[in-house]
A and B are shown apart, each in its own frame.
Chain A
Amino acid sequence: MTRRRVAAALANLVLAGIALVFAAPLLWLLTTSVDAAAGLRVQVPDLTGQHFASVLAWESGGRALWNGVLLSGGAALVTMVAATFCAYPLSRYQLRFRRPFLYTVLFATGLPLTAVMVPVYSLFVRFNLIDSRLAVLVFLAAASLPFAIWMTKNFMDGVPIELEEAAWVDGASPMRALGTVVLPLMLPGMAVVAIFTFILAWGNFFVPFILLLDPAKQPAAVNVLTYFGQAGLVTYGQLAAYSIVYTVPVVGLYLVVSRALGGAFSLTGAVKA
């Protein structure tokens, strides 16, 4: 039994070490955001609320948060609606191209988004869409669509088809059956898809960084860079404070999703490893 004890103690020790290493960079964000003498290292803060107050002002940070909500919320909505419509025939009809289509969708989920940004930029320039928030919103929606279709189809497969057949017998059209029978049962799944898209879009830096040049239109993901010396002066206190404000919605939504799907596995679970 003592050998077992030693092994357990050793395992706990290793875990504690790893936990410390993972905690250290995070700790900096917390202490620095409220430290009047903010620097690059973790230290006992000289407490102040000034950093949060200044980054929440409309011009410096508030507007960018709102832009982020518009972009990511819009993208989430577009993706969810398009994915639900697209998943219906895939889940319910016998289609000859179903398998190749799903293969392609799965294949597209793996492609690195970074790689298409140069051609997307030149397309946006050609069609005069640079600085158009609507175009960026639709692009973000399209970027998460393959994964959203995959998830939605799996959720829809879980709704028994007998329920719809009953509706068809009663004379309802397929779209009506989708609206009145399938969707109510799928609402939690659709919410997961929407939240997932929102988190991805909210956290995406590269896309708006390339496609939105007007600071008044940039979302928080890009605006946070202004505190990182883009404007000449590095202000670590405000950088950390704004980072936290920008992060809180993601953490909140993540908790909602993982609660809904049970356990932290949620976001990876949809991948079906």
Chain B
Amino acid sequence: MRRRRPGVFAWLPPMVPTFLLLGLFFIGPILWAAYTAFTNAALSGPAARDPEFVGWENFRRALHDPNLANAVWLTVLFTFGSAVIGQNCLGMLLAVLMQRRNQVIRAIVGMLVVAAWVLPEIVAAFALYAFLSGDGTLNAVLTTLGMEGQNWLFTAPMLAIILGNVWRGTAFSMLIYQAALSDVDVELLEAAQVDGAGPLRRFWHVVLPIVRRTVMTNLMLITLQTIGVFTLIYVLTSGGPGTASQTLPLLMYDRAFEFGEIAYGTAIAFVLLGVGALFSAIYARALRAEV
């Protein structure tokens, strides 16, 4: 029904606020970053007042920085473990198990899983911190069961932040999959059952092919949400002990604000932004039918 091809004075004015906001606070910083990453800008010292152009120096340094290699690896591990495996599979398991359960069970389980997701990130992080710490609830339970507790945040920091992020983010996948599963035609499933297919085969050969597109979209979205996670890890382990759980956002924060090396921090931010842009582009393309 869009039959009007309007002049510039019809469409431009209403879009000006958006162009201004996004230009100043979104595109501006990214262009600024593109410039800063090639200087030696710092928080203090002579380089803070008058940054010099240093060419590819920051990126050359990044390439040989063992901390960056470590952070990239940990980010991959964190994203794969907590999002692709953890949230995605647990979300699907919950959605499948909750189908055709009675209303009360669905409501209670759904409420608890969603609650962890609705909480502000920092509150979720505090709750997890208390749960996993040396004096925490998890160890209290383990002790009553006759097992020995430990300070999980210190002895197994990656496992702690991965499980923490699964706890926090599973609701998103669960909600998406619940909606997708409710669209699956029941008659198809019944037909498969008549043909003698068990629950696993029905899921693998009937349900999964139907919801495949949803799974792909969900994987993109949770990957994008996970690579940028800062607050949860900052509260739980601060990237430590040492650099044992220092993912890219934590390394970026550490270099830029703790060490005051703004330019180098920006170069790391660019790595993060690059990974995000890649996944985001795939995601936007996958949804081209909607545009």
Query: Do the two chains belong together in a single complex?
Result: yes
Contact between A115 and B276, CB atoms less than 8 A apart: yes
Interface digits, A11-37 against B, CB 8 Å rule (1 contact, 0 not)?
Answer: 110110011011111111100100000
Most buried by B among A110, A236, A269: A110
Q: Which residues of A contact B120 (CB under 8 A)?
A: 202-203, 205, 221, 246-247, 250
Given contacts A19-B112, A142-B25, contact A203 B121 (CB under 8 A): yes
Q: How long is the Cα–Cα vector from A120 to B124 in the complex, in angstroms?
A: 26
Q: Which residues of B contact A15 (CB under 8 A)?
A: 94, 97-98, 101, 105, 109
Judge if B188 is at the interface, Cβ distance under 8 Å.
Answer: no
A184 smallest CB distance to B (angstroms): 18
Q: How long is the Cα–Cα vector from A29 to B176 in the complex, in angstroms?
A: 28
Judge if B67 is at the interface, Cβ distance under 8 Å.
Answer: no
Q: Which residues of A contact B135 (CB under 8 A)?
A: 39-41
Contact between A264 and B276, CB atoms less than 8 A apart: no
Interface digits, B1-43 against A, CB 8 Å rule (1 contact, 0 not)?
Answer: 1111110001100110110011011101110110010000100
Q: Which residues of A contact B230 (CB under 8 A)?
A: 114, 205-206
**Least CB separation from B289: chain A residue:** A272
Range, interface on chain B: 35 or more
Q: Which residues of A contact B15 (CB under 8 A)?
A: 85-86, 89
Judge if B145 is at the interface, Cβ distance under 8 Å.
Answer: no
Contact between A93 and B4, CB atoms less than 8 A apart: yes
Contact between B98 and A24, CB atoms less than 8 A apart: no
Judge if A119 is at the interface, Cβ distance under 8 Å.
Answer: yes
Contact between B140 and A42, CB atoms less than 8 A apart: yes
Q: How long is the Cα–Cα vector from A99 to B112 in the complex, in angstroms?
A: 40
Contact between A268 and B121, CB atoms less than 8 A apart: no
**Least CB separation from A107: chain B residue:** B284
Contact between B109 and A19, CB atoms less than 8 A apart: yes
Q: How long is the Cα–Cα vector from A23 to B135 in the complex, in angstroms?
A: 18
Contact between A25 and B116, CB atoms less than 8 A apart: yes
Interface digits, A206-237 against B, CB 8 Å rule (1 contact, 0 not)?
Answer: 10001000000000010011001000000010
A196 smallest CB distance to B (angstroms): 12
Q: Could you say which of A110, A139, A149, A228 contacts B283, with CB atoms under 8 Å apart?
A: A110
Stretch at the interface among B81-89, B126-134, B201-209: B126-134
Query: 23 A-B Cβ contacts within 8 A?
Result: A14-B97, A28-B127, A42-B140, A85-B15, A86-B18, A89-B14, A93-B6, A94-B3, A94-B4, A106-B287, A111-B224, A112-B276, A114-B272, A118-B266, A142-B22, A161-B1, A174-B10, A210-B257, A225-B122, A243-B123, A243-B126, A250-B120, A271-B221
A contact residues vs B (CB 8 Å cutoff) = 7-8, 11-12, 14-15, 18-19, 21-29, 32, 39-42, 78, 81-83, 85-86, 88-89, 92-95, 99, 102-103, 106-123, 138-139, 141-143, 145-146, 149, 161, 174-175, 202-203, 205-206, 210, 221, 224-225, 228, 236, 239-240, 243, 246-247, 250-251, 254, 264-265, 268-269, 271-273
The 3 closest A-B pairs by CB, nearest first: A112-B228, A110-B280, A119-B33
B contact residues vs A (CB 8 Å cutoff) = 1-6, 10-11, 14-15, 17-18, 21-22, 24-26, 28-30, 32-33, 36, 41, 90, 93-94, 97-98, 101, 105, 108-110, 112-116, 118-124, 126-128, 130-131, 133-141, 167, 172, 175-176, 178-180, 199, 214, 217-218, 220-221, 224, 227-231, 235, 249, 252, 256-257, 262, 265-266, 268-270, 272-273, 276-277, 279-281, 283-284, 287-288, 290-291
Query: Given contacts A112-B276, A119-B266, A240-B126, could you give 8 more A-B pairs where the C-beta distance is less than 8 Å?
Result: A19-B112, A22-B115, A28-B131, A39-B135, A85-B17, A106-B291, A116-B29, A122-B262
